[in-house]
Structure 1
Amino acid sequence: MIAFIGLLIGIIVGIVWKVDIPEKFSPYMSVAILACLDSVFGAVRASLSKNFQADIFISGFFGNAALAVALAYLGDKLGIPIYIAAVIVFGGRIFDNFAIVRRLLIEKARSR
């Protein structure tokens, strides 16, 4: 639940404040956002499974984002688009977590 509230607060802040990110930083921001969304969906999944731990969520949220940005930066310096690997991995995990969340919600609704 805390992850969902944080996501809503982030969306509201993003809509209210106009933040311009230079185009050269867009690959870094895209993988960082995907990494953070992966952590949020993982937290929702863990919450529905009744095994959510805030310290794991927070460390994963910032750790995944920092690692994704670092890999994108390293790839940029090497001339290799490594950020595409992060996009594929985090995108796949987001869809996997969404599928599990969907199943858990359907099972919860059926049991009522």
Structure 2
Amino acid sequence: MIPVIGLAIGIAAGLVLQPTVPAPLQPYVPIAIIAALDAVVGAARAMGEKRFDDRVFVVSFVSNVLIAAAMVFLGDQLGVGSQLSTGVIVVLGIRIFANAAAIRRQIFHA
């Protein structure tokens, strides 16, 4: 429940405060959001399986965002930023959908 509450608070704060992102950091925002959502959906799955650990969640959240941002930065430096960004989004998207499917199976016992 804590990850969902944190996500809701973050979304509300973003809508109210409407922060601006500096132009050099804009390519990293979508990747960071997808990486953070991967951690949140993974935490929701762990909660449903009664094995949620807040320390694991925080480490997963921070490391996902940092690793994804580092990969995009490396791709930019190599001149293949958009291709590497797409790869990161695909991999994290697969993980999100796999966790969502596991949550759905837990809820509907199917």
TM-score, normalised to structure 2, is 0.91
**Moved beyond 4 Å, runs of 4+:** none
Cα distance, 1:23 vs. partner? 4.2
Q: In the alignment, which residue of structure 2 is the partner of 1:105?
A: 107
Distance 2:74 2:25 in 1: 13
Query: Aligned residues: percent identity?
Result: 41
Q: In the alignment, which residue of structure 1 is the partner of 2:56?
A: 56
Q: In the alignment, which residue of structure 2 is the partner of 1:74?
A: 74
Number of aligned residue pairs: give it.
Answer: 108
Secondary structure of the residue that 1:64 maps to in structure 2? helix
Distance 1:58 1:4 in 2: 13
Q: In the alignment, which residue of structure 2 is the partner of 1:41?
A: 41
Corresponding letter in the other structure for 1:88? V
Distance 1:57 1:34 in 2: 15
Q: Structure 2 unaligned runs (5+)?
A: none
Cα distance, 1:52 vs. partner? 0.4
Q: In the alignment, which residue of structure 2 is the partner of 1:8?
A: 8
Distance 2:98 2:54 in 1: 21
Q: In the alignment, which residue of structure 1 is the partner of 2:32?
A: 32
Distance 1:60 1:12 in 2: 23
Secondary structure of the residue that 2:21 maps to in structure 1? coil
Corresponding letter in the other structure for 1:54? D
Cα distance, 1:22 vs. partner? 3.5
RMSD of the TM alignment (CA)? 1.4
Cα distance, 1:84 vs. partner? 1.5
TM-score, normalised to structure 1, is 0.90
Q: Structure 1 unaligned runs (5+)?
A: none
Secondary structure of the residue that 2:52 maps to in structure 1? coil
